Amino acid sequence: MDISFSAEHEAFRQEVRDYITGALPPELARKAEADAEFEHAEVMSWHRILAQKGWAAPHWPKQHGGPGWDAARRFIFSEEIELSGAPRLSPFGLAMVGPLIIQFGSDYQKQRFLPKILAGEEVWCQGYSEPNAGSDLASLQLRAEDRGDHFLLNGQKTWTTYAQYADFIFVLARTNGEAKKKQEGISFILCDMSSEGLTVKPFLTTGGTHAFCETWFENVKVPKEHLVGELNQGWTMAKALLGHERTLVAGIGISSRALLRAKRIARDTMSDGRRLLDDPVIRQEIAALELRLESLKMANFRAIAGAQLGHAPGPESSILKLRGTEIQQACFDLCMKLMGMNSLTWFNEPGTVPDREHWVPSAFNYMRAATIYAGSNEIQKNIIAKLILGLPSA
Amino acid sequence: MDFELSEDQRLLVDSVQSFVKKDSPIERMRRLRDHEVGWEKSTWKQMAELGWLGVLFPESVGGSQLSFVEVGLIIEQLGTTLVPEPITALVTAGVPLWKLGNAEQHERYLSPALGGDTSLALAYLERDGRFDARQIATRAEKTASGYRLSGSKRWVQNGHAADHLVVSARTSGGPGDSDGVSLFLLDAGQPGLRRTTVKQMDGKKSAMLELEGVEVGAERLLGEPGAALPALELALDYGAAATCTEGAGVMQTVLMMTRNYLTERRQFGVPIGSFQALQHRAVDMFVETELAKSTAILAMLDVEAEDAAVRQRSISIAKAQLAESGGFVVRQGTQLHGGIGVTDEHDVGLYFKRMHVLSTLFGDAHFHTRRFASLPSFTRNVA
Ligand SMILES: Cc1cc2nc3c(=O)[nH]c(=O)nc-3n(C[C@H](O)[C@H](O)[C@H](O)COP(=O)(O)OP(=O)(O)OC[C@H]3O[C@@H](n4cnc5c(N)ncnc54)[C@H](O)[C@@H]3O)c2cc1C
């Protein structure tokens, strides 16, 4: 056993770090330094910069424009990006529909969609959840009727993140209402967001930003070429995709970055005539969280080492999602606590609180979503109970 | 021991409940979030007429001098729909005004507030002071006719709307000293006082104050110079007790809201409340709510204890419990609502935000745990 990255991997880490420092435009670097939130347009501009370097899609195979990195390099890259505070790229094209098209798509789909996803020229969103199909996704009801040369879509999706900016949406739709099992009548379809009959209404989140939307389909026509894989095989494909990049779901870099922010806040906040960072109780509390994060990091390394050897990520990745999101939330809880009364601030004028603190309350609120989306933590626990521990069902 | 409410107290609770239902459901708070002031004078007056603003204060100033239990019961019910009127600010500014003020000051500043014609604010927090009322740098220098105040105050609850402000400043000593803290009465429009309205996470507004050489006459000083700390700390404990009772109302509401959602929301063909994992979570929420309600009672009763150490001990127990239990309840309440709980449209997020504010105001868990450990009672019987 060996728990260190190879010299080569460490050199790669340095290369990534140097690159980010050089490539991040000054305005974005300033925002990253203040841990500010990025506008969608800023995220896309960073996407295009990374794309030029060939680093926008670390996990894509080389033939489709990926850099051809191993799992360790992908982890290092993602950790360094997150640690830098640079914008996080939208995952829907790069991490979700892209790999699915690569694996199951037609040649037409590969040529039509992949280059634009990679280049950041077309933005995607994910249309899985519906008002009555959340954790129980297989109950989804968006209908796609076969109309000869096209499908006709009717129904509603919800919680569609960044649908308001998207050029395309990939949906799971019901193509066979008669199937024996609900899972068997679902297809994976790509749909142009500018289609007639498609409307989007953004929700305000508890974080005070417009992050997700309701998306309605009323007689929306979708050409048949936009069906990915076989008819009624959507569920199987979507599930295959779930294992994808599961080694990155812990968000180690996000938490590391938030912990650094916590330490800086503690350094800059006075209490009892000294820095909060020098209060032994506070110090211990920050340390306790960092210890949890270090443990998770080791668990994550084990998953990566497995992936290096070519093992498909198994249900163990649920551990990373579970603990990773809990720690992300705990990091923001901690920042709020350290801020004291400043943690009450809500989108005030610059200077009301230190720049580093300005976005924390919004993120603290929105961060509650981390244990809900991408398979809620309760669902992750169900998976572990069933698939790892082999416990009986009720 | 007796935890039963008296007949009068029960009637009081009923009347607040019916007010909350009819006159100030949660939609009202939602609407007022976007307004400049965040609360309404007409409702403030209505509350005065219902007799709610004066319950703590003596009849001589226009109150009915019942006890803090009545105040707590009112605030707990108002917490169920996050009623935004500044009662806690009235209590925290009104207590030192009552305890230290003379008859003239009572008549001029306290009585109009109890009558619902004006509102008050207590300004004591500063940038480097965290929650400690002694850690203040604002100075009050003696002048020929009174005092000149210079410094700044932060996050003054209702400071943006108050007609009169009770402001702490040093007449002697330096940050951290117990002696030398004085309280002054300022008018909203006092020359040299600059107020900036700021937005809070819970939809309320408060104020940042700049005191740029504010000149006041000696009649604006409350009590003896340099001796206000005990009354100020008492006021902050009243504030803490108020947040504990409001928090109890918030938790109870989130608990029931979540319980109902678990019953209605169906996934996998069954109500999600039939999953044992979620039943246990709801039970934990219930347990935490009951614990926090219990310590809120302790706070209501002991905030009026003769012995300051007894009072401080009880308040710190309740305030630390509020942060722990309240934090758990609103987090789980959000979690169990799934995606809808993260939208601004759903009410659970409003309670989530208010709970954070309540946990922070008048000292967070860190502050109160430390205070609890620093009291003689903590090491009593330990040689
Ligand atoms: C910020 C955010 C962004 C999102 N973005 C997208 C997106 O882009 N595209 C998309 O398709 N979806 C998206 N989602 C939707 C997300 O996947 C769902 O919210 C999630 O699947 C939960 O579904 P639900 O909200 O309907 O909650 P429900 O499924 O109704 O769950 C409510 C509660 O019950 C629990 N629960 C449910 N079933 C069980 C069970 N069997 N055992 C124990 N507990 C259970 C859940 O964990 C949760 O706590 C997003 C959600 C959020 C919050």
Q: What distance in Å separates the CA atoms of residue B151 and residue B159, rounded to the nearest whole number?
A: 15
- At residue A34 the predicted structure's pLDDT band, cuts being 50, 70 and 90, is confident
pLDDT digits (tens, 9 = 90+) for B184-205: 999 999 999 999 999 999 999 9
- In angstroms, what separates the C-alpha of B62 from chain A's closest C-alpha? 33
Residue nearest (by alpha carbon) to ligand 1 atom 49:
B336
Q: What is the pLDDT of residues B201-239, one digit of tens each?
A: 999 999 999 999 999 999 999 999 999 999 999 999 999
**Which of these ranges, A294-308, A342-356, B107-121, B231-245, has the smallest mean pLDDT?**
A294-308
The domain made up of A245-388 is a member of CATH 3.40.50.2300 = no
- For chain A positions 372-391, those within 8 Å of chain B (CB to CB) are 372-373, 376-378, 381-382
Residue minimizing CA distance to atom 11 of ligand 1: A128
CB proximity A141 to B under 8 Å:
no
* The pTM of the whole model exceeds 0.90: yes
To the nearest 10°, the Cα dihedral for A41, A43, A45, A50? -170
Query: Which of A320-324, B246-250, B270-274 has the weakest average pLDDT?
Result: A320-324
CATH architecture entry for B7-118: Orthogonal Bundle (1.10)
Instruction: Supply the pLDDT for residue A372.
Output: 96
CATH of domain B230-379: 1.20.140.10
Q: Give the A window 174-233 contacts with B, CB below 8 Å.
A: 203-208, 212
pLDDT band at A246 (very low <50, low <70, confident <90, very high): low
CATH topology agreement for domains A124-237 and A245-388:
no
Mean pLDDT value across residues B259-280: 98
Q: Is the dihedral of CA A155, A160, A163, A168 positive or negative?
A: negative
Q: Flag whether pLDDT at B45 surpasses 80.
A: yes
> In 3D, which of B365, B85, B74, B378 has the Cα closest to residue B205?
B85
Give the class (CATH, top level) of B121-226: mainly beta
What average pLDDT does the segment A185-207 reach?
97
pLDDT at A1 over 70: no
Taking CB atoms and an 8 Å cutoff, what residues of chain B touch A354?
none
Domain boundaries, chain B: 7-118, 121-226, 230-379
Kindly state the average pLDDT of the residues B151-160: 98
Q: Which CATH architecture has domain A124-237?
A: Beta Barrel (2.40)
Write down the pLDDT at residue A163.
97
Put simply, whether A315 touches B (Cβ < 8 Å) is no
Q: How far is CA A176 from CA A104, A144, A172, A191, A222, in A?
A: 20, 9, 12, 19, 17
Chain A residues within an 8 Å CB radius of B360: 340-341, 343-344
Judge whether B62 and B115 are in contact, CB under 8 Å: yes
Ligand 1, pocket residues at CB < 6 Å: A 125-129, 134-135, 159-161, 211-212, 369, 372-373, 376, 378-379, 382; B 265, 267-268, 272, 275, 277-278, 335-336, 338-339, 342
Taking CB atoms and an 8 Å cutoff, what residues of chain A touch B194?
none
Q: pLDDT digit string (tens) for A229-245?
A: 999 999 999 887 766 55
Mean pLDDT, chain B, integer: 97
Domain locations in chain A as residue ranges? 7-89, 124-237, 245-388
Give the confidence band of A250 by pLDDT, cuts at 50, 70, 90: confident
Q: Whose CA is nearest to atom 43 of ligand 1?
A: A378
Residues of A marked active site are found at: 245
Average pLDDT of the residues in B298-316: 97
